[in-house]
C-alpha cells in the first residue's frame, strides 16, 4: 500500500470554485472590466455547498465563481475589445494632452466597438430561453426610455430604449397577448403571454425621475446595453413571426390618415414617426398584406379519463382567453387629458378597442370628443363639464379591472366622482386557507355569472359575505389552532373535572373533620353524556402529542418550524379578516348615522 498522501484542497469542490480576485487575476482585467464582463456574459457567483471546504478551511466571507465559468470567459472576444478600448483611451488622452487634434479625430474614428450578438445567442441558445428572461430587459428598457435626455446616460441609449419599448408594445397590441395589468404604487405591471411564455414588466408612472446619488449608473448602463441588444433581436424575431415589417412601419392607410392632420407640428419626419408609432393608435404594415386569417382549429384527439377533464379545462381556459382578447372589441374610447394616455391606449388597443384622444395631447388621435359613436370616455376628474348622453364616463380603473377580471364589469362603480372599489392584484393566487378579500369573492361570483346585488341588496349581500368570511375565519381558526385549542380544552376539561372532584372531596373532608357525623346522603348520579366523536378526537390528539414527544431533535426542529410557519400564515389571514371586519363595521355605523341624519334632515 502506501502512495503519496493526498493533500487537502487539491481536488473536489475546492478546485471547482475560484474567488473573485483570483478570477480577475486570471483574466487580467480590472475590477470594473471584470464586472462589465460578468454582466454582459451573465456570469454570477455561485454559493458552494460546502463553503468552508471551498474556502480552504477559512470561513471568511468570499464570493465564489465556478472555475468553468471563468475558463469560459478566457476565450471571450470582448475581453480583447476591453483591452483595445483601454489602449484607445490612453492614446486619446495622450493626443489630447499634446493637442494633436488630427490624431484625436483619427482615434475617434477608429474607436473600438464591440457587438453583443454572439453573447445573446450564447446566453439564450433558443428563442424561448430569451423570452423567458425578458422581464428584466423590458423593465430596464421601459425605465431608461423615461429618462430625461440629460446627463445620466447617452442620449442614443435612451432613444434606443424608447424605440425598442415602442416596438414591443406594438407587438403586444397586434398579437393581443396582454393578460394582466396592475396599477401599483410603484408603477404599472403588465403581464403578457408571448409564445406561451409569461412575461411581466413594470413601467414607472410618467414623472420626471429624481435621480438618486447612490446608484451606479454605469452598472445600469451596462445592463441596458445587453438588454437592448436582447430586446432588439427578440423584437425582430417576434415581428417576423407575425409577418410584420421590421423596423415597424405604419399601415399605409393609417399613415395617410395620420398624415393629414398634424404633420406640420413636427419638425422632423423621423421624430414624428416614432411618436406616431408610440401613439399605438394605428396598425402596422405587414410583409404580406393579407386579411387576418382565421386561426386553424386545432385538431382534437379523443382522450379518456382524467386527461379528458384536463383537456376540457384547458379548452375552457382557451375559450376564456379568446374572449378576453376581444374584451373591448367594437368599443370606442376617448381618453381625457388627465389620464395616463400611453398605458391606457396600450391596454385598450390590446383588447381590440378603438382609442383616441385630444389632438393637443399627442399625435395619433383618430377622432374627436364630439364623435357620436364614442361609447366610453375615460375621465379622472370629479365631474365633467360637458356630458354626452350616449356614452359612459368612467374612471381609468374600470379598464384595468375589466382586463383582470376578463369581463366587462358594471360601469356604475366607476363613474367619475364615485369612491372606487379596491383595485386588486391579479397576480395573487388564492390557496387554501389564504385570506381572500371580499371584493375578490364578489368578483369571482360575478365571473361565475351570478347577478350582482345592487344598493339595498348590497348591504345584505355584504353581510352575507361577511357571514361567509366569518365562517371562513372560523375554519381558518380551526385550521390554525385546532390541535392547540383542543388540547387546551382537554386539559381544561380535565382540570375542571379534577377541580370539581377535588372541591367535592375537600368539602367532604371538611365535613369529616368538622363533626365526624357524616350525614350520609346519596345524591343521584348524573349521566355523563360522553361525546364519542369528541373523545375520539381527544384520543387522537393525545396520541399525536405523545408521538411528537418521541421525535428526534432534528425532525422536531423542522416540524416546529413548519407548524410555526403555518400558524403564522393563518394568524396573518385572521388579522386581515379582523381588520376588514372592524373597518366594515365602522363604515356601516357611519353610513347608518348619515342615513339617520338625512332622514332627520328630510323630516
Query: What residues from 237 to 276 belong to the interface with other proteins (CB under 8 A)?
Result: 237, 240, 246
**Which residues 141-160 are close enough to bind other proteins by CB under 8 A?**
143, 156, 160
| Shortest Å, Cβ 160 to other proteins | 7
| Shortest Å, Cβ 4 to other proteins | 31
305: left (phi over 0), alpha (psi -120 to 50) or beta: left
| Shortest Å, Cβ 135 to other proteins | 6
Mask for 347-386, x = binds other proteins (CB under 8 A)? ---------------------------------xx-----
- Which listed residue (31, 89, 551, 589) binds other proteins by CB under 8 A? 551
The half-sphere exposure of 196 on its side-chain side, counting CA atoms within 13 A, is 3
Mask for 474-503, x = binds other proteins (CB under 8 A)? -----------------x--xx--x---x-
Q: Which is nearer to other proteins, 126 or 523 (CB)?
A: 126
Q: Which is nearer to other proteins, 326 or 447 (CB)?
A: 447
- Which listed residue (509, 511, 568, 597) binds other proteins by CB under 8 A? 509
User: Helix or strand or coil: residue 339?
Assistant: coil
Judged by CB under 8 A, which stretch of 97-105, 249-257, 433-441, 590-598 contacts other proteins?
433-441
Q: Which is nearer to other proteins, 202 or 311 (CB)?
A: 202
Q: Which of 501, 153, 18 is nearest to 162 (CA)?
A: 153
Q: Are 155 and 149 in contact (CB under 8 A)?
A: yes
For residue 136, state whether it binds other proteins (rule: CB under 8 A). Answer: yes
103: left (phi over 0), alpha (psi -120 to 50) or beta: alpha
Judged by CB under 8 A, which stretch of 215-223, 251-259, 261-269, 285-293 contacts other proteins?
215-223
φ and ψ at 354, to 5 degrees?
A: -100, 140
**Which residues 104-133 are close enough to bind other proteins by CB under 8 A?**
109, 115, 117, 120-122, 124-127, 130, 132-133
Q: Which is nearer to other proteins, 372 or 502 (CB)?
A: 502
Q: Are 408 and 402 in contact (CB under 8 A)?
A: yes
**Which residues 269-328 are close enough to bind other proteins by CB under 8 A?**
none
Alpha-carbon span 406 to 16, nearest angstrom: 51
The site for other proteins, by CB under 8 A, has a size of 116
Q: Which CB contacts under 8 angstroms, 24+ apart, belong to 59-63?
A: 62/19, 62/20, 63/19, 63/20
Q: Which is nearer to other proteins, 186 or 454 (CB)?
A: 186
| Shortest Å, Cβ 329 to other proteins | 24
Query: How far apart, in Å, are the Cα atoms of 78 and each of 116, 121, 298?
Result: 8, 14, 46
Alpha-carbon span 211 to 230, nearest angstrom: 26
- Which listed residue (420, 444, 507, 535) binds other proteins by CB under 8 A? 420
3-state secondary structure labels for all residues of 458-475? HHHHHHHHHHHHHHHHHH
- Which listed residue (55, 139, 170, 177) binds other proteins by CB under 8 A? 139
Mask for 560-589, x = binds other proteins (CB under 8 A)? --xx--x---------xx-xx--x------
| Shortest Å, Cβ 544 to other proteins | 7
**What are the residues facing 198 on neighbouring strands?**
193
Mask for 50-89, x = binds other proteins (CB under 8 A)? -------------xx-x-xx--x-----------------
For residue 210, state whether it binds other proteins (rule: CB under 8 A). Answer: yes
User: Helix or strand or coil: residue 36?
Assistant: helix
| Shortest Å, Cβ 348 to other proteins | 15
Q: Are 419 and 395 in contact (CB under 8 A)?
A: no
Question: Residue 102 is inside which H or E element, if any?
Answer: helix 101-109
Judged by CB under 8 A, which stretch of 2-10, 265-273, 478-486, 550-558 contacts other proteins?
550-558
- DSSP secondary-structure letter at 413? G
**Which residues contact residue 435 at a Cβ distance below 8 angstroms, ignoring those fewer than 6 apart?**
476, 572, 573, 574, 576, 577
**What are the residues facing 334 on neighbouring strands?**
356, 377
| Shortest Å, Cβ 271 to other proteins | 16
Alpha-carbon span 568 to 246, nearest angstrom: 53
Alpha-carbon span 19 to 160, nearest angstrom: 36
| Shortest Å, Cβ 318 to other proteins | 23
| Shortest Å, Cβ 500 to other proteins | 13
**Which residues 18-37 are close enough to bind other proteins by CB under 8 A?**
35
**What are the residues facing 410 on neighbouring strands?**
none
Alpha-carbon span 514 to 509, nearest angstrom: 8
| Shortest Å, Cβ 262 to other proteins | 26
| Shortest Å, Cβ 228 to other proteins | 7
User: Helix or strand or coil: residue 127?
Assistant: helix
**What are the residues facing 393 on neighbouring strands?**
377
Alpha-carbon span 147 to 153, nearest angstrom: 9
Q: Which is nearer to other proteins, 124 or 168 (CB)?
A: 124
Amino acid at each position: 500500500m502506501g502512495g503519496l498522501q493526498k493533500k487537502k484542497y487539491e481536488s473536489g469542490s475546492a478546485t471547482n470554485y475560484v474567488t473573485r480576485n483570483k478570477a480577475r487575476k486570471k483574466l487580467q482585467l480590472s475590477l470594473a472590466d471584470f464586472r462589465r464582463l460578468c454582466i454582459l456574459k451573465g456570469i454570477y457567483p455561485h454559493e458552494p455547498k460546502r463553503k468552508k471546504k471551498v474556502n480552504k478551511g477559512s470561513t471568511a466571507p468570499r464570493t465564489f465563481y465556478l472555475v468553468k465559468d471563468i475558463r469560459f470567459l478566457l476565450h471571450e472576444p470582448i475581453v480583447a475589445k476591453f483591452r483595445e478600448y483601454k489602449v484607445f483611451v490612453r492614446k486619446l488622452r495622450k493626443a489630447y494632452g499634446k493637442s494633436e487634434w488630427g490624431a484625436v479625430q483619427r482615434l475617434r474614428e477608429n474607436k473600438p466597438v464591440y457587438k453583443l450578438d454572439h453573447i445573446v445567442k450564447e446566453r439564450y441558445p433558443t428563442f424561448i430561453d430569451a423570452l423567458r428572461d425578458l422581464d428584466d430587459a423590458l423593465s430596464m428598457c421601459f425605465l431608461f426610455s423615461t429618462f430625461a435626455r440629460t446627463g445620466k446616460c447617452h442620449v442614443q441609449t435612451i432613444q434606443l430604449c424608447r424605440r425598442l419599448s415602442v416596438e414591443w408594445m406594438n407587438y403586444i397590441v397586434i398579437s393581443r397577448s396582454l393578460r394582466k395589468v396592475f396599477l401599483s404604487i410603484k408603477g404599472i405591471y403588465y403581464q403578457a403571454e408571448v409564445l406561451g411564455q409569461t412575461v411581466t414588466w413594470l413601467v414607472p408612472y410618467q414623472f420626471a425621475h429624481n435621480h438618486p446619488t447612490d446608484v451606479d449608473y454605469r452598472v445600469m448602463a451596462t445592463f441596458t446595453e445587453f438588454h437592448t441588444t436582447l430586446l432588439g433581436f427578440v423584437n425582430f424575431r417576434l415581428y417576423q413571426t407575425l409577418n410584420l415589417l421590421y423596423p415597424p412601419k405604419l399601415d399605409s392607410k393609417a399613415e395617410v390618415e395620420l398624415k393629414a392632420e398634424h404633420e406640420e407640428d413636427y419638425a422632423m419626419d423621423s421624430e414624428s414617426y416614432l411618436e406616431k408609432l408610440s401613439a399605438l393608435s394605428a396598425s402596422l404594415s405587414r410583409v404580406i398584406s393579407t386579411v387576418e386569417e382565421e386561426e386553424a382549429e386545432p385538431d382534437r384527439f379523443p382522450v379518456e379519463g382524467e386527461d379528458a377533464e384536463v383537456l376540457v379545462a384547458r379548452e375552457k381556459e382557451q375559450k376564456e382567453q379568446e374572449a378576453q382578447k376581444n374584451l373591448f372589441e367594437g368599443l370606442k374610447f376617448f381618453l381625457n387629458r388627465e389620464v395616463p394616455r400611453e398605458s391606457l391606449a396600450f391596454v385598450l388597443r390590446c383588447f381590440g378597442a378603438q382609442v383616441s384622444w385630444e389632438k393637443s395631447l399627442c399625435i395619433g388621435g383618430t377622432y374627436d370628443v364630439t364623435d357620436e359613436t364614442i361609447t366610453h370616455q375615460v375621465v379622472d376628474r370629479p365631474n365633467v363639464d360637458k356630458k354626452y348622453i350616449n356614452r359612459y364616463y368612467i374612471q381609468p380603473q374600470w379598464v384595468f379591472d375589466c382586463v383582470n377580471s376578463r369581463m366587462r364589469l358594471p360601469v356604475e362603480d366607476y363613474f367619475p366622482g364615485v369612491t372606487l372599489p379596491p383595485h386588486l392584484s391579479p397576480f395573487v393566487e388564492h390557496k387554501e386557507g389564504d385570506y381572500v378579500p371580499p371584493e375578490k369573492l364578489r368578483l369571482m361570483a360575478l365571473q361565475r355569472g351570478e347577478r350582482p346585488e345592487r344598493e339595498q341588496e348590497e348591504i345584505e349581500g355584504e353581510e352575507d359575505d361577511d357571514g361567509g368570511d366569518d365562517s371562513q375565519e372560523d375554519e381558518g381558526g380551526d385550521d390554525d389552532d385546532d390541535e392547540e385549542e383542543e388540547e387546551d380544552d382537554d386539559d381544561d376539561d380535565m382540570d375542571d373535572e379534577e377541580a370539581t372532584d377535588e372541591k367535592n372531596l375537600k368539602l367532604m373532608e371538611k365535613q369529616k373533620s368538622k363533626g365526624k357525623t357524616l350525614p350520609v346522603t346519596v345524591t343521584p348520579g348524573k349521566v355523563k353524556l360522553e361525546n364519542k366523536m369528541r373523545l375520539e378526537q381527544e384520543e387522537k390528539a393525545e396520541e399525536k402529542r405523545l408521538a411528537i414527544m418521541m421525535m428526534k431533535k432534528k425532525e422536531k426542529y423542522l416540524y416546529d418550524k413548519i407548524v410555526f410557519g403555518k400558524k403564522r400564515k393563518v394568524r396573518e389571514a385572521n388579522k386581515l379578516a379582523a381588520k376588514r371586519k372592524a373597518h366594515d363595521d365602522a363604515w356601516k355605523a357611519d353610513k347608518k348615522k348619515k342615513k339617520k341624519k338625512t332622514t332627520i334632515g328630510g323630516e
